[in-house]
Structure 1
């Protein structure tokens, strides 16, 4: 079992700084015309995708984890949301160039080769389209030990400070890019009530899941002052 399998079995729909409340606030801050085409990268259990659909957007949701996609499919059916689910890799998106008005990402690019993923986000956006990407940031003085622990437990492949993320967006071909909601310390937020959360009851008897949960808590406590977050806004 890895970290993403654990999240799937927990039915976690907002595993990122600030939780689902931060997601809703971000969507409100950057409204789009009704019918705009939105791509959510790393949709997980589909909670955010369903919310975007309720906002009146044409939503396509992509994830590479089969267990997550199955849960997302069931959530979409329960919520009667109009969301197109696609299995795919953020570094090789299965879409033609220039078709989306918005690419929406939250704590996903860190699990990719971010330079490749950002180039793909840029490719599928229409000219003038927007990328909203909420990601973890690491302080410049972060140690190799800390980065190694994050890679080992979570499978993170890209860890950068705020300026590092902005530079990768420049290299990916975005013409305007900025950061906001910059927080120097990680926000550990208890998830709000999710009426359509689907939890695997066998999880509570799984020693591997218990171990992962314990390690997650320890790492967040140990390194919380070296981990922060920011929302990156970029224009194609």
Structure 2
């Protein structure tokens, strides 16, 4: 499986809020960091644009949304047009953001960083954030240190660059320069969710095929095999 195959699968399905916890968790998290109309917010790996549109319409903030996958950008353009949401969409690599330094008050990443060179991407988040800016990042996290052969299998299935524990994620963030690093799980925000997590919405793209179902089955088998695979929410200040 090539590095992009799992991400290509998500793009073919046009899945909204594929990250753990889904859009109900996203809304609870955004309510906790309270973006405002004067702020500039970057949504990296924006996917179909669900979070970006919500930010623009609900919080009235200035939103730039970035995704590397052209199919996701097309989904996001259609959503933004339908919702009449004033967001700026860019097809770009989060490891090399075509954006000025100290441009954003907040950076939102939902199951994105783990699919990249983590060290490089965190440096880019830090670079584009204003001093004392806020990073909100939901990422795959292992409950304990996995063996090298286990990490290799998970990397093969998802195309991720590494599988980190909570402690390793915090260390990476702190080494980048982030401060006040806080770690949460979805249960910490369960009471503030206005709705329970649900099955992500799907908007099929042309070219969806049987191979995509095979990838989905492999994903299910991997999650069943590796019970240590979980997710954490990381909040930090630049």
Q: TM-score, normalization: structure 2?
A: 0.89
2:95 match: secondary structure? coil
Mapped partners of 1:11, 1:62: distance in 2 = 16
Q: Is the 8 A contact 1:20 1:191 kept in 2?
A: no
Do residues 31 (structure 1) and 39 (structure 2) align?
Answer: no
Which residue pairs with 2:146 in the alignment?
A: 142
Query: Aligned to 1:213, which of 211, 216, 231?
Result: 216
Q: TM-score, normalization: structure 1?
A: 0.90
Mapped partners of 1:201, 1:97: distance in 2 = 37
Q: Segments of 4+ in structure 1 off by > 4 A?
A: none
Do residues 199 (structure 1) and 204 (structure 2) align?
Answer: yes
User: 1:83-232 alignment to 2 at 5 Å?
Assistant: 83-181=87-185, 190-191=198-199, 194=201, 197-200=202-205, 203=208, 206-223=209-226, 225-232=227-234
User: How many residue pairs end up in the alignment?
Assistant: 225
Name stretches of at least 5 consecutive residues in structure 1 with no aligned partner: 184-188
Query: Aligned to 2:68, which of 46, 64, 70?
Result: 64
Name stretches of at least 5 consecutive residues in structure 2 with no aligned partner: 188-196
Deviation at 1:33, TM superposition (A): 2.3
Which residue pairs with 1:79 in the alignment?
A: 83
Mapped partners of 1:117, 1:174: distance in 2 = 13
Alignment RMSD, CA only?
A: 1.7
2:41 match: secondary structure? strand
Deviation at 1:153, TM superposition (A): 1.6
1:91 match: secondary structure? helix
Q: Which has the higher contact order (CA 8 A, sep 6+)?
A: 2
Deviation at 1:127, TM superposition (A): 0.8
1:154-186 Cα shifts (integer Å, max 9, x gaps) = 110022111111111111111321212277xxx
145-154 vs 45-54, greater mean Cα deviation? 145-154
